[in-house]
Structure 1
Amino acid sequence: MISPGSRYVALGSSFAAGPGVKPLLDRAAGRSGRNYPHLVAEALSLDLVDVTYSGATTANILTDRQDQAPPQLDAVGPETELVTITAGGNDLEYVGAFLRGSLMNTLALPATVLGRRVANRIRARVSYLRDDAAYEAVANSLVEIVTRIRESAPRSRIVLVDYLTLVGPGTRARLDVPLNEEQLPSIVFLADGLARAFSTAAAKSGADLVTASVASQDHAIGSAEPWTTGFSLRPRALGGFVPYHPNEAGMAAVADLVVAHLRTTD
């Protein structure tokens, strides 16, 4: 169990940073003060260094600057005792493909007045297919991140936290998920490949794994208690939200999963 006061470094992309979850601490990073790292740190009385950043790829964790921010691994040092990692989705353009597909389908609705062919051309501009090498690359990058953390912080506990499920058993094509019944399975296929990459990386590296993807199957978009948002073109000033991202309930749920994992495993 991680002792109170221990240094905890949170790495990852928007599914860890929490854009749209108030309060917003860093606008450029889309980093919330109630994201799962902050909630974990609060529950366990840890000294949090949160360098999560919306839009981050695994390269932004390993080597590449993002805007003015240095590679996220720079935050890990010998005093670090806990690290959580949620990244890899942007390597696959997982949410990006979902967003573009939803936008293209929304734009294609008026095009049906002009003809089905025009609408289909608009929808066809988004690809949801990824080859096996893409998922393998994510897994390898996650393994490299774990390896680099161990070099910098040999005593650290490292936890891979995968992505909340967006499309689940109760998700249907409708206004808040404007994909058709042929496109939705492609998003599920992408999500499954991403989850497998995390599982593979944990097995290869020996890092801990928290499967938020499994725990959230019944809390996907369209469920009675969703942990993620749907699609909206409405500006946030007019009641809109960040599409296809964890909401407050989702962040709290992931934090509970991480805390429970840390409390029940050595």
Structure 2
Amino acid sequence: MAIPRGADYVAMGSSFAAGPGLKPRAVGAPRASGRSAGNYAHLVAARLGLSLRDVTFSGATTEDILRGTRHRTAQIDAVTADTRLVTITAGGNDIGYLPALTFASLPWPLRALPVFRRRVAQFTDPTATDRRFQALSASLASIVRELHARAPEAEIVLVDYLTILPEQSNDDRRLEVLRSSPRGDLTRWGREVASRLTRTFASVAAAEGCVFLDVGELSREHHAWSSAAWTRRFHLSLRGGAPYHPDAAGMAAVAEMLIRRLE
């Protein structure tokens, strides 16, 4: 449905929605949030003339959205009966998707440390991954149901993750660091997790009556190693976007997809 100009828009999610490293920083945003004025929520709000309340926060899980933490209120508390649009990009931290890829990509002296090897092993354990996906599905469903109760007239959009890893290629040496992980080929694990995140979002959206924006499928040719990338490869800074996160072009692309869907 069309969202009227001036309507209240609440953006929720983790760093993939917040945009750490993308300048300028959102006015008044805590530094730890990594919240950028160039993230897709800000771009959409500016184009459609919406009143944005951006509560995205780097490191957030779906639990943080629904219940908050000791130091931060639940993101969902930003939603009121007047809210007309809610977007959510979250779940990767629940699974350990980006943390595992990041830890496995650290320079050798660091990624060899027991603490990082242990964390990668915990994130990529198959049984634990299955459990985390079951919990994520239930958590996302709870969030959508609570949003329907709090804002019955709101359009709720689950926004998928942009593609990070390219399709499998036997002669592709660009991902050698991830392929040589002590836990085996993490590119295979990363692709499977991305695919399962997409399927989880789509399933929850269909079951709970909200919109699913299939950003992953729409960005297949814009992975981090492509000539027209929308996400960053690993690098030891936040400049231009955090490693394995959207760059400015990626945020603009997601905003455009969302605007087309809403219109």
Is the TM-score greater than 0.5?
A: yes
- 1:62 partnered with 2:58: no
Deviation at 1:28, TM superposition (A): 1.8
- Is the Cα contact below 8 Å between 1:164 and 1:246 reproduced in 2? yes
Choose from 146, 156, 159 the match for 1:158: 156
Pick closer, same or farther for the CA change 1:240–1:203 going to 2, 3 Å: closer
Is 1:221 the equivalent of 2:224?
Answer: yes
Report the alpha carbon displacement of residue 203 of structure 1 after superposing the two structures with TM: 1.4
Q: Using the alignment, how far apart are the partners of 2:47 and 2:173 within structure 1?
A: 37
Unaligned runs of 5+ in 1: 110-118
Q: Which moved more, 1:155-164 or 1:240-249?
A: 240-249
User: Quick one: distance in 2 between partners of 1:203 and 1:81?
Assistant: 20
1:210 pairs with 2:213: yes
Q: Which residue of 2 aligns with 1:116?
A: none
Range that drifts further, 203-212 or 165-174: 165-174
Residue 105 (structure 2) aligns with: 102
Which residue of structure 2 aligns with residue 89 of structure 1?
A: 92
Q: Which residue is 1:112 aligned to? A: none
Aligned partner of 1:32 in structure 2 is: 36
Percent of aligned positions that are identical: 44
- Residue 159 of structure 1 contacts residue 208 of structure 1 at CA under 8 Å; is this kept in 2? yes
Candidates 171, 188, 191, aligned match of 1:188: 191
Structure 1 position 179, deviation (Å)? 1.1
Separation in 1, partners of 2:108, 2:173: 12
Decide whether the 8 Å contact of 1:228 with 1:247 is kept in 2: yes
SS in 2 for 1:218: helix
After TM superposition, the score normalised by the length of structure 1 is 0.86
Contact 1:80 1:155 in 2 (8 A): yes
Counterpart contact for 2:20–2:241, Cα < 8 Å: no
Aligned length: 248
1:105-184 alignment runs, 5 A limit = 106-107=108-109, 125=118, 126-127=120-121, 128-130=124-126, 131-169=129-167, 172-174=172-174, 178-180=177-179, 182-184=185-187
What are the equivalent positions in structure 2 for 1:229-240 lying under 5 Å apart? 229-233=232-236, 235=237
CA distance in 2, matches of 1:229, 1:3: 34
Question: C-alpha offsets along residues 89-129 of structure 1, whole Å, 9 cap, x if unaligned?
Answer: 100011000011112x63389xxxxxxxxx7x899642323
Tell me what 1:8 maps to.
Answer: 9
Q: In structure 2, the residue corresponding to 1:83 is in which secondary structure?
A: strand
Is residue 246 from structure 1 mapped to residue 246 from structure 2 by the alignment? yes
Matched, 1:79 2:58: no
Indicate conservation of the 8 Å contact 1:178/1:231, yes or no. no
Q: Is the 8 A contact 1:60 1:71 kept in 2?
A: yes
From 53, 62, 65, the equivalent of 1:49 is 53
Aligned-residue Cα RMSD (Å) equals: 2.4
Amino acid in the other structure paired with 2:52: L
The question of whether the paired residues in 1 share the 8 Å contact of 2:240 and 2:247 is answered with no
Identify the residue that residue 262 of structure 1 maps to in structure 2. Answer: 262
SS of match in other structure, 1:90 = helix
1:13-24 residue pairs with structure 2 within 5 A?
Answer: 13-24=14-25
Larger Rg computed on CA atoms: 1
Instruction: Name the CA distance, whole Å, in 1 between partners of 2:116 and 2:136.
Output: 27
Q: Residues 207 and 241 of structure 1: is their aligned pair in 2 closer, same or farther, counting only changes over 3 Å? A: closer
Q: Distance in 2 between matches of 1:157 and 1:70?
A: 23
Return the offset for 1:168.
1.8
CA contact (8 A) 1:219 1:226 kept: yes
Distance 1:205 1:20 in 2: 34
What residue identity is the alignment partner of 2:56? T
